[in-house]
Structure 1
Amino acid sequence: MAPEWKDLTEKFQAERQRLRAGGGAELQAKEHAKGKLTARERIDLLFDPGTFEEVDLFAKHIGRDYGLDKRELPADGVIIGYGEVNGRGCMVYAEDFTVVAGTFGERHGRKICKIIDMARKYGYPVVGINDSGGARVTEQMGALSQYGQLFYRHVAASGVVPQIALIMGPVAGGQAYSPALMDFIFMVDKTSSMFIAGPPLVEAVVYEKTDEQSLGGPKVHGRITGVSDGTMADDRQCLEQTRRLLSYLPLNNKEAPPYEEPEDRADRETEELEQIIPTDQKKLYNMRRVIEVVFDRGSFFELKKEFAQNLIIGFARLNGHVVGVVANNPMKYNGALDYNAADKGSRFIRFCDAFNIPLISLQDVPGFLIGTRSEHNGIIRHGAKMLYAYAEATVPKITCVVRKAYAGGYLAMCSKDLGADLVFALPTAEICLMGPQGAVNILFRKEIAAAQDPEKVRAEREAEFMERYVNPTYAAGLQHVDDIIMPAELRRRLIKGLEMTLDKDEEGPDRKHGITPV
């Protein structure tokens, strides 16, 4: 190397190294003491070794007030770039808490907007690693404007490329709406939090004393609000699970999800279901065990497990093909759909439809949850979201009725009438407008009331009603069910149906966009 080039190279390499150190070793050690990794350590774990390429390392903040003009903020507190995850392209931005607490300033925001623009332009998923004290108040309108610019980018990228938010520290103020506009959110136990106003402001304005974890920690967003899709034990698990999630997703909305050569046999019989699913309709069973048996072994990736537990959602593989699974959980509310389950299911269905992921629905639903609380919490408008999402979806849709399929719940879990391409039913299926108890109480109310033994008459009428209407052969006879199948053949029939429908060509109505229920 020529001497003049040697000096120049060493100068810029030293500058790179200094900027990459962020806030320095002391502040990095403080992050480690909290159980957190640094922004660059997180990036190293997310991407395949040696593939990450950084851009805008030399970006400088533009703050001039309160002495900020005399401070250097390396990379303005956020790292952006691209690389490979599982051998496929991915974009990232990672906030650096060692640089003024990762606060969001104007140049900081521009960098994030830039990488989202690149992701949308070149067709790659974007992962946002959030770890920030909120807006940089010394930049005021610059920071506020960039929040708006960022939200605009998330909306523009929605349904075009997958967007994954990792909450790996605090996310406060208006910036909390950034993850909320993305597709998936993972949080880290004990070290992450998310709220639009922190404890000091809450106490000052509404006179309520609280702390970060009680206000917006992983337990709150995982179980109560449903904002989070999963709580991870630590930073490493969060990044490992992010890599796994990306393995199910296409790079963009123009691609099919990634196929993997299956280790499981396509013709494997699922006779274990006979031991899992009781023929006695009053007995409960674990729908997750059904999922484990039917889909490729070990492939189910559940989302929002702690929220709205009456509905199970997640990705799985079926003979190597990625599918979205939506299943009622009879262990909670007997599988009935409530307002939270409707929100959980409908958003997942719409994501799958946007990114060409077929949907497999496993029905065991007695209907929508009824009662004063359910009505007052908006079951009508929330429940309508499930109907809308399934009806709107143009991806392959296959449904299996495992047991109960009553009334609006039957429709909301993707019946023929909502566009299911194939509907199968097990011999245990009960498909009807109304459950036998309710129907008999209406149809034979006077007869039961006048009987010497009302309970005997009610039982007889229920048995007659079940025999006539509440069975899969009645529905199959009217072509609402394509076939009644045995538990042992469920996996094989789902695979055959899926592979037959993979090239489905269906377009929605000619319109700008529909108006979803709220």
Structure 2
Amino acid sequence: MLDSTGVRLEESTDALNALGEIYRNQVLVSGVVPQIAIVCGNCGGGLSFVPAISDFVFMESTDGKLYVNTPDAITGNNIDLIDNRAASYQAEVGNVDFIGTEDEIFAAVRALIGLLPFNNEDGGEVLACTDDLNRACTGISSYKEDAASMLAMIADNGVFFETRKAFAECIVTGFMKLNGQTIGAVANSGKTDVICANGADKASEFINFCDAFNIPVLTLANLKGYSRTECQEKKLPKAAARLATAYADATVPKVTVVTGKAYGSAYVLMGSKAIGADFVYAWPDAEIGMMDAKEAAKILVGDGTAAEIRKTAAEYSALQQNVSSAAQRGYVDTIIDDADTRKYVIGAFEMLYTKRENRPNKKHGTI
């Protein structure tokens, strides 16, 4: 819990050394025990790195202040333009998972602790499931534009704990129970059909946490490509590479459900079979392919007529974009009815409960 006006100036280098020791100890236990930081008051300068090193950050929305530099110290800014210390600002830029009143954040912390293992050698508490394991997710396909609601429908008793909700809205991350076992979930939100650099980083950091603490990962894939702006061009290659690395490096059970469109290399990154998914399911109306059939037809036909483009698009869709084609090639294990999603996902994680992977010996990757 953090609420401090900073180090004592009289202690000078002693205070700086103490800060460094805090950082080092946090890093040493990172991936060994989950670290949760609660910003209740002032948390500025070097102290702001403590929550940044933590796994989850909760911040009181009124009195909490989190910053490296004060608003007036930032070039071209003042507190009337952007208050970078505010909880709402820090949540939007991804530095805070949850904001609220003191009672709300303590309740959320208790809920999160109930979902997490005590350490990296603890298998996590598997509770007796009071929900029907074969419960139909009736109408789940109508929530394709609201992935958090879809995940809640799949989860035991409809409980889904979302992390970093205000950050990178193209991606949803969070925890749920399936047959009493904690599962980490990553999904394309449905609010947009692309993934951005922040979304890729949000997903990769979450997957890395799950892998460190042996929490299986469920992915709901529904996207057509990448965000297209100059800013994204600068950030996306590295961010996408980090997401690919997170999925490929993770040795925990990984199950993916394709709920809508899955186009191009963006789909490959979202827990595809090629990048390490143990099971891939798809809904009957899912589309898996290189790109939208109409766009592909325009390239294939060139200067052809509109009728030729329509004909080629229909042929391309049937041959290359149909989910059955992906299943025939082995990239989808089973085409499932959307209402049966919960049943199939639970079954997959049960089969993978004792999964073990041997990887080449190395100190660490460099991506």
What is the TM-score when the length of structure 2 is the normalising length?
A: 0.96
Structure 1 position 272, deviation (Å) = 2.1
Q: Tell me, which stretches of 5 or more residues in structure 2 are unaligned?
A: none
Residue of structure 2 aligned with 1:445, choices 287, 292, 302: 302
The CA distance in 1 between the partners of 2:223 and 2:76, in whole Å, is: 43
Superposed CA offset, 1:358-393 (max 9, x none): 0000010112223423203x1101111110000000
For 2:269, the equivalent position in structure 1 comes to 412
Q: Which moved more, 1:290-299 or 1:385-394?
A: 290-299
Superposed CA offset, 1:290-342 (max 9, x none): 212111123200011111001100000111110000010121x32x1100001
Superposition map of 1:2-151 within 5 A: 129-151=1-23
Report if the CA contact (8 A) 1:324-1:358 is conserved: yes
Structure 1 position 508, deviation (Å) = 2.6
* Residue 427, structure 1, aligned to residue 284, structure 2: yes
Superposed CA offset, 1:214-254 (max 9, x none): 1221111111x21111112x112111111111111111101
Report if the CA contact (8 A) 2:84-2:90 is conserved: no
- Three-state SS of the structure 2 residue aligned to 1:271 is coil
For 2:98, the equivalent position in structure 1 comes to 230
- Three-state SS of the structure 2 residue aligned to 1:424 is strand
The CA distance in 1 between the partners of 2:249 and 2:267, in whole Å, is: 17
Superposition map of 1:161-176 within 5 A: 161-176=33-48
Structure 1 position 437, deviation (Å) = 2.7
**Structural RMSD (CA):** 1.6
Aligned residues: 367
Superposed CA offset, 1:32-86 (max 9, x none): xxxxxxxxxxxxxxxxxxxxxxxxxxxxxxxxxxxxxxxxxxxxxxxxxxxxxxx
Query: Aligned AA for 1:219?
Result: S
Structure 1 position 138, deviation (Å) = 1.6
- Three-state SS of the structure 2 residue aligned to 1:138 is helix
For 1:292, the equivalent position in structure 2 comes to 152
For 1:194, the equivalent position in structure 2 comes to 66
For 1:387, the equivalent position in structure 2 comes to 244
Q: Tell me, which stretches of 5 or more residues in structure 1 are unaligned?
A: 1-128, 278-283
Report if the CA contact (8 A) 2:129-2:180 is conserved: yes
For 1:358, the equivalent position in structure 2 comes to 216
Query: Aligned AA for 2:159?
Result: S
Superposed CA offset, 1:185-231 (max 9, x none): 1111121111112246x17xx464227981221111111x2111111
Report if the CA contact (8 A) 1:363-1:402 is conserved: yes
Report if the CA contact (8 A) 1:399-1:423 is conserved: yes
Query: Aligned AA for 1:484?
Result: I
* Residue 345, structure 1, aligned to residue 203, structure 2: yes
Superposition map of 1:316-335 within 5 A: 316-331=176-191, 333-334=192-193
The CA distance in 2 between the partners of 1:359 and 1:438, in whole Å, is: 33
Report if the CA contact (8 A) 1:361-1:414 is conserved: yes
CA gap of 1:189–1:139, structure 2 versus 1, over 3 A, is: same
Report if the CA contact (8 A) 1:368-1:383 is conserved: no
For 1:34, the equivalent position in structure 2 comes to none
Q: Which has the higher contact order (CA 8 A, sep 6+)?
A: 2
- Three-state SS of the structure 2 residue aligned to 1:159 is coil
Residue of structure 1 aligned with 2:166, choices 302, 306, 310: 306
Structure 1 position 174, deviation (Å) = 0.7
Superposed CA offset, 1:383-417 (max 9, x none): 11110000000000000000111111111111111
Report if the CA contact (8 A) 2:71-2:85 is conserved: no
The CA distance in 1 between the partners of 2:286 and 2:124, in whole Å, is: 32
- Three-state SS of the structure 1 residue aligned to 2:57 is strand
Seq. identity, %: 34
The CA distance in 2 between the partners of 1:485 and 1:439, in whole Å, is: 27
For 1:368, the equivalent position in structure 2 comes to 226
Residue of structure 1 aligned with 2:124, choices 248, 257, 273: 257
For 1:478, the equivalent position in structure 2 comes to 329
For 1:272, the equivalent position in structure 2 comes to 139
The CA distance in 2 between the partners of 1:489 and 1:197, in whole Å, is: 51
For 1:71, the equivalent position in structure 2 comes to none
Structure 1 position 144, deviation (Å) = 0.5
Superposed CA offset, 1:136-174 (max 9, x none): 112111110011111111110110110001111110111
The CA distance in 2 between the partners of 1:247 and 1:213, in whole Å, is: 36
For 2:112, the equivalent position in structure 1 comes to 245
- Three-state SS of the structure 2 residue aligned to 1:497 is helix
Residue of structure 2 aligned with 1:461, choices 308, 312, 317: 312
The CA distance in 2 between the partners of 1:509 and 1:464, in whole Å, is: 43
Structure 1 position 438, deviation (Å) = 2.4
Query: Aligned AA for 1:315?
Result: F
- Three-state SS of the structure 1 residue aligned to 2:218 is strand
For 1:159, the equivalent position in structure 2 comes to 31
Structure 1 position 288, deviation (Å) = 2.3
- Three-state SS of the structure 1 residue aligned to 2:58 is strand
The CA distance in 1 between the partners of 2:268 and 2:228, in whole Å, is: 16
CA gap of 1:396–1:326, structure 2 versus 1, over 3 A, is: same
Query: Aligned AA for 2:288?
Result: I
Residue of structure 2 aligned with 1:221, choices 70, 90, 104: 90
Query: Aligned AA for 2:204?
Result: S
The CA distance in 2 between the partners of 1:220 and 1:304, in whole Å, is: 12
Query: Aligned AA for 2:6?
Result: G
The CA distance in 2 between the partners of 1:255 and 1:324, in whole Å, is: 16
